A and B are shown apart, each in its own frame.
Chain A
Amino acid sequence: MFLLQATNTSGISSVLFLGTLGMLVLTIGLIMFIIFHQRKVIRYQMKLQQMEQEQQQILLKASIHLQEEERQRIAADLHDDAGPLLATARLYLNENLVNQDKSTQLQSIFQARQILDDTIQLIRNISHSLMPPTLKNFGLESAINDMAQKISGSGSINASSRFHDYKDRLKQEKELIVFRIVQELINNILKHSNSSFIHLTQNTHGDSFLLRIHHDGRGIVQADFEKLNKSNIGLGLKNISSRLRVANGSIFFEKDSSQTYYKVTIEIPKDDPYES
């Protein structure tokens, strides 16, 4: 009001003209900013979407590749081990057996039985590698403890596991996912890390199931994991990522603050008790 009283008419006119012009420039500038900003956001979102699609494509390829590898391994096991064993058993049990003397017959039958037992064991091993019976019958805790015992039993590395809070078991599908991830990680540690011990610890935090693997060998940190995940190598790690995606989980690779060992932490959301 003071401004209005103080200024003369020509002053008011210029204030009016400049004010109107200023307001218009501001409004048009703002609208232009909105248009360009929205375009920028959309372009960014499209780029992000494309990157996600590419990543998904890599994961899909990795999982198909691993599936094919698994099939080849089973085929090789059946063809190279079970096939010759069964062929040998067939040789022992040929038509001429009836013309042989009793002791030769008994020896052939005994040999054939021995070979059939070996074949049964071999097929059992293949089946166990596909779906461990301990996991199916007794759950994740027993399966992981069993795996640790077996590794320790080999004498080359010390493996142990401890479950602190696993009263409420995860769903069977989630247990299988966690088990496969642990299998893959332990396999990598055994193959590449040259460590002297592996220790698994389980716990829960809020609505999350947590599992941590410690080892004192050569390891990777999160940046390496992400880099490998985006590259064409590291199929096992990509398989871990795709399994985690199914379970809505996450994984974190880090080096301990004492710099003496590596830690891998898996976090999976616990099952909703009301979910059917």
Chain B
Amino acid sequence: MIQTQKIENLSDYIATYSPFLPIILFFLFYQVTKKQKSLWPIIVFAILTIANFFLEDYIPKKIVYRKIFLGFTTFYEYALFTIFLWNNIKNRLFKNVIVVLSISFVCFLIFYYTSARFKRLDSVPIGIECILILIYSFYFFYEKINNPDVLFIYNDYKFWITTGIMIYLSGSFFIYIFANQVPKNELNLYWSFSFIFMGIMNILFSIGILILGLQPKKHHPKPKANHHYLDIT
């Protein structure tokens, strides 16, 4: 029992503090990372995740506040991951599909949080969010397979970030879906898994940022000397 408690505490720490890693690396390589527009949503996500963990205890116990808090969490998670993938997907038609699906999802969120009742977690919106983001991620990889723009896919920071998103969402999918059905003591253990997946995601984000930051700079060599004698006079 003590062992389980230790694991739970450890995973809690991982989930709380691991988002600091991509943020630190982002600002460490700021000269390179600031130019990557698609990276900003990931950093905003990490900042909001930290804020989320620290603010969670201060949310009033009233169901309305809890609904707003959970709704906002689901919304920013979906929005920021979608913005990242939308920026990196090239096909115009699929981008439009993402916009349509996103509008529909937001409408559904508004409807759900104003009408539905849930015990612990908003499983249905999270489930839909996971499925949608996984579809976008699959499409992103499908595009990458068809039009490889880098020699090795793992030299691209977007690969690591998308992999992180996919592992976190696929690992947490069933936990979120069954959160309202599983007994509370068992759920705590599963939360630990979810936190570990979040930690893995943040590590993968960090690897992506590190790869981006350590990439050799592209520079166009200028002629070393001006050979006047070669000019036509």
Tell me the A residues contacting B by CB distance below 8 Å.
Answer: 4, 9, 12-13, 15-16, 19-20, 23-24, 26-28, 30-31, 34-35, 37-39, 41-42
In the complex with contacts A34-B141, A37-B145, A15-B174 CB distance below 8 A:
yes
The 9 closest A-B pairs by CB, nearest first: A19-B174, A23-B170, A27-B170, A20-B174, A38-B153, A16-B178, A27-B166, A16-B174, A34-B141
Task: Report A-chain residues with C-beta under 8 Å of the C-beta of B41.
Answer: none
Task: Report A-chain residues with C-beta under 8 Å of the C-beta of B186.
Answer: 9, 13
Cβ contact within 8 Å between B167 and A27: yes
Task: Report B-chain residues with C-beta under 8 Å of the C-beta of A13.
Answer: 182, 186
A31 CA to B174 CA, complexed, in Å: 20
Cβ contact within 8 Å between B174 and A23: yes
In the complex with contacts A4-B181, A30-B141, A38-B152 CB distance below 8 A:
yes
Could you tell me the dominant secondary structure of chain B's interface residues? helix
Could you tell me the dominant secondary structure of chain A's interface residues? helix
A28 CA to B172 CA, complexed, in Å: 14
Tell me the B residues contacting A by CB distance below 8 Å.
Answer: 138, 141, 144-145, 148, 151-154, 163, 166-167, 170-175, 177-178, 181-183, 186, 190, 193
Q: List 12 A-B contacts (CB under 8 A).
A: A4-B181, A9-B181, A16-B182, A19-B173, A20-B172, A20-B174, A20-B193, A23-B173, A24-B171, A27-B166, A34-B145, A42-B151
- Contacts A31-B166, A34-B144 aside, 4 further interface pairs with beta carbons under 8 A come to A12-B178, A15-B174, A23-B171, A27-B170
Task: Report A-chain residues with C-beta under 8 Å of the C-beta of B173.
Answer: 19-20, 23
Residue of A nearest to B153 (CB): A38
Cβ contact within 8 Å between A38 and B174: no
Cβ contact within 8 Å between A38 and B148: yes
Which has the most chain B C-beta neighbours within 10 Å: A27, A30, A35? A27
- Complex partner residue of A26 from B151, B170, B172, CB under 8 angstroms: B170
Cβ contact within 8 Å between B163 and A38: no
